[in-house]
Structure 1
């Protein structure tokens, strides 16, 4: 005779209990990741994966970062490794949460009446959700200003906290749901003649759980594939050099460097720019208000701090926007202001001197080469700071904060900024003078095709003097022993590059080292001593080997 009642408990080995809990946690983890992905896709809410990256990145040393970059084989592979690691880590935590939940219920079942008081284990799940949310908010607090739709930082912080609460709630409830399907803690009542089972068979419930998990995995996989398609992987690291170089770089050819997995897609109508800090009159501006102000157009060249001698991380465009001093005059900076701190929609932040912000060429730009800023280049508003490295020209700008010299953030040993805290640009942010060969085509450290004795060769290239202009370009065909002046065919402004040309007729068969150098508008020659771009930006002359053959 069967004497088991409806609430009789099946005793199962502790390991098997933990395994079913682990599986429930993994399925709940998939649901959590799918929720995060949907919120990121639809609303632009940042995922913990992105926030963790942004939180940890400034804490790394330049040496460690570059070493990781080299081991991974580039920035894109490093990003992908980070994504895989973060997703695996979140799944592992969810799995451990599920196992802990299962063991918690098992221990409660041994105590008479405990399971009846809380059969679903809410006493563990609810505090777990709240603790996880508070912990993540506390650890990621500096990055919570991020919002990939460009919402104001004050609102973004609340929304990001809400996103974590929603995602962790889905995980917690998912653990309860999936474990209730996978577990067979209680024996179903005995079926009497003419009656059906009160609960479906265990095998059917487990099939339902695994089927639901598979469906969630399919949805998550589809979103991740979409993210990969629209992500930065296809264009991050775009360079502009070679024979096709023009005075004004086409928007789709402009060099591109991004820290992001997916760049912001800002909604202009809800976007705002606030200016706060050491000011008499803090202001919040809409795009329409900024676009209605008197605008200027200026040709300005940007150069990345990762620019290697002769490389293509440098481009030139005509920008239209409002001079930053126009807006600063409206907020009335206090006399103690020394530094500008800016924030962007993607969580990026950097600083530069207040005196530079007050120069009339420091621009809040909303057009690039006669078109609205492309999404990849900072739509709807970015900052153009002539003469400083590209990292000081933020895209997707959302906040400008004016700081006094005694602000605690400025007292850090390496300064305050997303890259600066790693140790970049400790020797200064000013772009040194650069020049390079662009044509004929260069392959590595030599020209792609040999030259012929007695046949003229036209060399072309660019020269850039930061915010000092270019006054002269010279070419050497004997490794730097003697120099001849090149012709500046398309002069730039003080804040843009110049294009040059030089015709040379080789007189004999040989391997010849050609070198180019420039002199800036203040009469200072280009620095000849070689310095790698890590961590303070490159210096040195671009040289290329030429092979001269018989005609």
Structure 2
């Protein structure tokens, strides 16, 4: 029978043994991740009280967008389209996890460099927060407190890991058994991680404000327009499979903006101010805006980042108040030539004053889209809609301010990054069916798509196959020159691989150029081309 001195004890059982080698470094890295989660959670919880915009998570993301070169932004949009923000979050998440793991390992092998690294990350986040629009000194609190808590959690977790490791190496020390130190380490790490994760998720949900603002939006009752939009003609939508509908549903309308977090704006507290080079400052509440004689107009919007044949364009029926009437109340000075519109998240767009005051341009301070209040992601409660200009110089969402100024005194967000200042829409056309690389059966096939040139209108569309002579397509009806037009051309498709091209001519007689140009700095050009196999 074995003696008592050789019997295994709880202190030397395998489950109490501390990790060694790579496992030890992996455990230290996990401590770094727990510390990062704790830092994030504390910041999010405090942001609930200080203000959602003070959250470092989206401040850092927005800061990255601000610093990103235009060419790289275009590349990401081209690769991921409206999923560009998901891509950004994934990249930021991977970077944060990597830094957190590095901090944990550094704190284990060379104290206090892990804590210093975590503090440096917090400092970067603090700079991002404090450089956001409308930042106040109170915005310091979430990031500073979160960073301090994260550093504390990291130091304490690594201390417990060291105690466990030391106890495993000296298991005969009765006051420092491997089992006791193991339990202390796991209780601290798992406990802090679980509580922080739950608190952070709850706080992030509150900060997003989606539920509260969605409820507020549901209570908004839009008034009937004093000037309804003309009814969509029966022949405006060709109802072909694969062809984009004439009126784009709200859920399908493209979204390109700089907001990582959709601003949560209470319509009861929203206000629009008009200032700058004016004779009469104007302040308007949401209720006052709804009480004005609103108008309804069908208008196609397009993003300057849209590639030839791209889908960053959509047509909707907008309800709002004419911008020119508000500006008339403000009485712009004769020397002014630009209106700088600003979003609640700090985004700005510079729009030519002459466009906004033109009696023939239906530029709107919009509150409705396709018969309902603006969707949260499309600017609720108020945005700008201006026909004939790319969105980056006109279509400000979550609108909060209009500043009358001059182009030589102020710049919009994207103009400062090298894009052209005025952004007029270019004549464009697109093939929706057949799709690039598609396969169809031989015989009669309806090639169809859309074409647009807001303010001027589309006069004709031509299609050609394999560089043969151009053929006239049939244009569908339209509400006005401010919307796109569907078109269709009947093709007697023969077996083989073919190339289809389209070009449009506007009402002034200008035909799309074949010269290929990228979106920067003032919109892409070229003929949309698709290859299709007939068999």
Question: How high is the TM-score relative to the length of structure 2?
Answer: 0.71
CA 1:103/1:176 → structure 2, altered by over 3 Å: closer, same or farther? closer
In the alignment, which of 32, 35, 60 is matched to residue 39 of structure 2?
32
Contact between 1:345 and 1:398, CA under 8 Å: does it hold in 2? yes
Equivalent position of 1:503 in the other structure? 490
Q: Aligned-residue CA RMSD in angstroms?
A: 4.5
Aligned residue in 2 for 1:197:
none
Deviation at 1:292, TM superposition (A): 1.2
Distance 1:496 1:28, change over 3 A: same
- Structure 2 CA distance for aligned equivalents of residues 79 and 333 of structure 1: 40
Between 1:169-178 and 1:289-298, the stretch displaced more is 169-178
Contact 1:29 1:94 in 2 (8 A): no
Q: Which residue does the alignment assign to 2:191?
A: 212
Q: Following superposition of structure 1 onto structure 2, how do residues 384-533 of structure 1 map, counting pairs within 5 Å?
A: 384-392=385-393, 393-407=395-409, 409-410=410-411, 416-417=412-413, 419-423=414-418, 425-426=419-420, 429-438=423-432, 441-445=433-437, 447-452=438-443, 456-477=444-465, 479=467, 481-484=469-472, 486-506=473-493, 511-533=497-519
Instruction: State the shift of 1:449 in Å.
Output: 0.9
Secondary structure in 2 matching 1:476: strand
Find the partner of 1:79 among 88, 93, 113: 88
Q: Distance in 2 between matches of 1:470 and 1:372?
A: 30
Change (3 A) 1:39 1:494: farther
- Describe the superposition over 1:69-90 as per-residue Cα deviations: whole angstroms up to 9, x where unpaired: 7899973563134321563477
1:61 aligns with 2:61: no
Q: Whole-Å Cα distance in 1 between the matches of residues 102 and 405 of structure 2?
A: 40
Change (3 A) 1:324 1:458: same
Tell me how far 1:502 sits from its aligned partner: 2.6
The answer to whether structure 1 residue 45 and structure 2 residue 45 are counterparts is: no
> Which residues in structure 2 correspond to 1:34-433 (within 5 Å)?
34-38=41-45, 44-66=52-74, 75-76=84-85, 78-85=87-94, 87-88=96-97, 91=100, 140-143=129-132, 145=133, 153=134, 157=136, 160-168=139-147, 170-171=149-150, 206=185, 208-219=187-198, 222=201, 243-359=242-358, 360-392=361-393, 393-407=395-409, 409-410=410-411, 416-417=412-413, 419-423=414-418, 425-426=419-420, 429-433=423-427
Query: Helix, strand or coil: the match of 1:443?
Result: coil
Contact persistence 1:26–1:92 (CA under 8 A): yes
Aligned position for 2:236: none
2:55–2:129 CA contact under 8 A, matched in 1 = no
Give the whole-Å Cα distance in 1 for the aligned partners of 2:254 and 2:30: 46
Distance 1:61 1:505 in 2: 46
Q: What TM-score, normalized to structure 1?
A: 0.69
Secondary structure, in 3 states, of the residue corresponding to 1:490? Answer: coil
Kept in 2, the 8 Å contact 1:45–1:159? The answer is no
Supply the distance in 1 between the matched residues of 2:434 and 2:346 (Cα, whole angstroms): 37
> 1:50: Cα distance to partner?
2.0
Return the offset for 1:436: 1.9
SS at match of 2:463: strand
* TM-aligned CA distance change 1:512 to 1:448, over 3 Å: closer
1:428 and 1:331, CA in 2 relative to 1: closer, same or farther beyond 3 A?
A: closer
> Which segments of 5 or more consecutive residues in structure 2 lack a partner in the other structure?
1-26, 164-179, 211-239
Q: Structure 1: where are the runs of 5+ without partners? A: 1-19, 105-123, 146-152, 185-200, 232-240, 411-415
How big is each residue's C-alpha offset from its partner over 1:98-138, in whole Å with a ceiling of 9 and x where there is no partner? 89x9869xxxxxxxxxxxxxxxxxxx99xx99x99998666
Q: How many residues align?
A: 462
Matched, 1:539 2:516: no
How far 1:67 moved relative to its partner? 5.7
C-alpha contact (below 8 Å) 1:25/1:97 kept by paired residues: no
Structure 1 70/319 Cα, relative in aligned 2: closer, same or farther at 3 Å?
Answer: closer
